[in-house]
Amino acid sequence: MTKLSVNINKIATLRNSRGGDVPNVVQFAKDVQRYGAEGVTVHPRPDERHIRYQDVYDLKPEIYTEFNIEGNPMPKFIDMVLEVKPTQVTLVPDGEDAITSNAGWDTVKNKTFLTEVISEFKSNGIRTSIFVDPYLNMVEGAKATGTDRIELYTETYAQQYKLGNKKAIEPYMECAGLANSLQLGINAGHDLSLENIKFFKENITGLLEVSIGHALITESLYFGIENVVQMYLHRLQ
């Protein structure tokens, strides 16, 4: 079964644009869970351009599905995650000025650092995931860090799918096969959408979770959030 985790960064973007508390991030998280989402994802960035650290604390008591916090494991981020203790932490190597996530970890070069960080989160009962490009050596490197899961970075798949190139799924299939053989859990995310999610799900064996935000929120402007959550759940069956 593949769980749908709704990334609510964009709700915070909309809220911050007017300086008030509308839309309310916590209420939105409660609503998407009620509509059937099996998790809520947030990515508090160092500049707090959308999700703020306070949002993470406010959300924690209201999330009864799975709470996934994504981010670059800088000291402030690590301290917050250890305090909040979400279901899962997803380590993403974003630069502070990145407009969005744009690369996975070099799990080989960063093995020592990632191993230490993974160990600290796991010893605090937090499931760990590492954001990786669909490269076999990066999956192998992730396994060596002791992480529970990887998150396959799906931007390239999404871009190529839009161009009609379905062969773009192949590296992801190969990485999934390797991850399954290594007993490494498989998550996926970035630019997944109603258009491309079904083909991805059908071809990735052992896909445990997809975290989707930008497209899902955009699609909800046209179809409504409750309908869109249900549309994703149907495609993920």
Ligand X SMILES: CC(=O)[C@@H](O)[C@H](O)COP(=O)(O)O
Ligand Y SMILES: NCC(=O)COP(=O)(O)O
Distance, in Å, from the CA atom of 196 to the CA atom of 31, rounded to the nearest integer, reads 25
State yes or no: residue 92 binds ligand X (CB under 6 A): yes
Helix segments in 35-169, DSSP class H: 53-59, 75-84, 111-122, 136-144, 155-162
Distance, in Å, from the CA atom of 188 to the CA atom of 171, rounded to the nearest integer, reads 13
- Residue whose CB is less far from ligand Y, 17 or 112: 17
234 is catalytic: no
Distance, in Å, from the CA atom of 208 to the CA atom of 100, rounded to the nearest integer, reads 23
Identify residues 63-92 at the interface with ligand Y (CB under 6 A): 70
Identify residues 194-223 at the interface with ligand X (CB under 6 A): 211, 213
User: Least distance from C-beta 214 to ligand Y, angstroms?
Assistant: 3
Distance, in Å, from the CA atom of 102 to the CA atom of 191, rounded to the nearest integer, reads 11
Annotated binding residue 213: yes
State yes or no: residue 15 binds ligand X (CB under 6 A): no
Annotated binding residue 100: yes
Catalytic pick among 70, 151, 209, 219: 70
190 is catalytic: yes
State the binding partner of 129 from ligand Y, ligand X, none, CB within 5 to 8 A by kind.
none
Distance, in Å, from the CA atom of 174 to the CA atom of 204, rounded to the nearest integer, reads 9
Point out which residues bind ligand X (CB under 6 A): 7, 9, 43, 70, 92, 100-101, 131, 189-190, 211, 213
